[in-house]
């Protein structure tokens, strides 16, 4: 059974905290920003690749949350390392602390493509972009963790989709991934999110790093499925009957609860490195999610790739 979490009632004061949410212009990210914004953090950086969408999202949050804190658009395209590096540099030029990083942005079930640096588009966007962003912001987060009473968190959006990954758990062969079905490539990227979050907790225990499945919510994430008539009908039927299932939500208001809980619940409530189902339910995940060898392999492969590109 999930926790009975009401952001209005249960989020304590976030006074003085600096928050960064990727993909904050839509879906779960936007709702997460909205939930956090009324609890007095110093500032929230809404990281998004399209300025007009970010502006609209900020205006919309302001209209629904009259006491919202300052919300700043941070330009970020996770499919380009130079854009990620620029976003991190912009952030660091303005802030000396970062309390909560929510690696939320994501894409799902896209046709095979590659990012600027040649990574399969889902692994490249969902994992590599966030891994670089996290690595570049880590010094700021580690400094923040030294402050008395600090509580620094990295919250990563994974998915139950990690169960349907490629054979063997993860594939690092970017061209070979073209042979895999798009859902397996999504699973590959979401398993990477989960394992990377676990290894962050091992390497930086002074920071709390957890990952999560937010539930199932028909956001823009399902866009690619809407182009297939059968899947479209399936989604229409799901809209009628699926919502009675546990962990299925009608709107991002429900879908953002688990991220928001992970970002704001008492630190003692969280197990560092864990994966949570909605809301706040500790879960071991798939057998691959519990494979420490694969976890280390992903970390080392990611480090090598970032180094290759000069990071
Ligand atoms: N919805 C679900 O049922 C579900 C289930 C399991 C896990 N999740 C996970 O939850 C997270 C949020 O999903 P959502 O449902 O809120 O999806 P969404 O409504 O499609 O929002 C995704 C966000 O990611 C951003 N994004 C995509 N590619 C990007 C890039 N290259 N650079 C920067 N931002 C990028 C999007 O920006 P644009 O608007 O510019 O495209 C958007 O803000 C994802 O990581 C997803 O895998 C969702």
Is the residue at 233 inside a domain?
Answer: no
Q: pLDDT (tens digit, 9 = 90+) per residue, 194-236?
A: 999 999 999 999 999 999 999 998 888 877 777 778 777 777 7
Q: What are phi and psi of 54, to 5 degrees?
A: -65, -45
Helix (H, G, I), strand (E, B) or coil at 148: coil
Is the residue at 236 inside a domain?
Answer: no
Three-point CA angle 180, 185, 190, nearest 5°: 155
Among 270, 262, 221, 285, smallest CA distance to 28 is for 221
Q: Which residues line ligand 1 (CB under 6 A)?
A: 23, 25-29, 48-50, 53, 76-79, 104-108, 125, 157, 159, 213-214, 216-217, 219-221, 255
Among 123, 121, 117, smallest CA distance to 85 is for 117
Active site residue 163: no
State which residues form the domain around 88.
7-216+256-308
CA of 147 to the centre of ligand 1 (A): 32
Is the residue at 196 inside a domain?
Answer: yes
Total number of domains constituting the chain: 1
Is the residue at 61 inside a domain?
Answer: yes
Is the residue at 207 inside a domain?
Answer: yes
Is the residue at 296 inside a domain?
Answer: yes
CATH number at residue 56: 3.40.50.720
Active site residue 13: no
Q: pLDDT (tens digit, 9 = 90+) per residue, 7-34?
A: 999 999 999 999 999 999 999 999 999 9
Q: 239 falls in which pLDDT band (50, 70, 90)?
A: confident
The token pair at 310 is: 């000069």
Identify the pLDDT of residue 224: 75
- Ligand 1 atom with least separation from CA of 26: 43
Is the residue at 247 inside a domain?
Answer: no
CA 129 – CA 122 distance, rounded (Å): 10
Rounded to two decimals, what is the model's pTM? 0.96
Q: Is the link from the previous residue into 279 a cis peptide, with omega within 30 of 0?
A: yes
Q: pLDDT (tens digit, 9 = 90+) per residue, 241-255?
A: 777 788 888 899 999
């Amino acid at each position: 059974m999930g926790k009975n979490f009401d952001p209005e009632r249960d989020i304590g004061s976030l006074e003085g905290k600096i928050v960064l949410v990727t993909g904050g212009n839509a879906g779960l990210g936007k709702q997460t920003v909205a939930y956090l914004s009324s609890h007095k953090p110093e500032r929230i950086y809404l990281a998004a690749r399209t300025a007009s969408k970010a502006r609209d999202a900020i205006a919309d949050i302001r209209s629904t949350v009259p006491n919202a804190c300052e919300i700043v658009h941070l330009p970020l395209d996770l499919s380009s390392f130079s854009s990620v590096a620029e976003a991190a540099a912009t952030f660091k030029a303005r802030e000396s602390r970062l309390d909560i990083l929510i690696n939320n942005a994501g894409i799902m079930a896209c046709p095979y493509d590659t990012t600027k640096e040649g990574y399969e588009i889902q692994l490249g966007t969902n994992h590599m972009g966030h891994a670089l962003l996290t690595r570049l912001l880590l010094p700021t987060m580690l400094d923040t963790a030294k402050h008395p009473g600090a509580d620094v968190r990295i919250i990563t959006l994974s998915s139950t989709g990690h169960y349907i990954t490629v054979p063997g758990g993860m594939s690092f062969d970017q061209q070979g991934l073209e042979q895999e079905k798009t859902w397996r490539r999504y699973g590959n990227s979401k398993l990477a999110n989960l394992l990377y979050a676990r290894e962050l907790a091992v390497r930086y225990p002074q920071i709390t790093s957890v990952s999560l499945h937010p539930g199932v919510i028909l956001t823009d994430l399902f866009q690619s499925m809407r182009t297939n008539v059968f899947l479209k009908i399936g989604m229409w039927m799901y809209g009628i009957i699926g919502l009675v299932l546990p962990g299925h939500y009608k709107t991002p208001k429900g879908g953002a609860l688990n991220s928001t809980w992970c970002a704001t619940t008492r630190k003692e409530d969280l197990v560092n490195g864990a994966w949570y189902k909605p809301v706040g339910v500790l879960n071991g995940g798939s057998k691959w999610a519990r494979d420490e060898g694969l976890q280390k392999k992903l970390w080392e492969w990611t480090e090598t790739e970032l180094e290759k590109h000069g990071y």
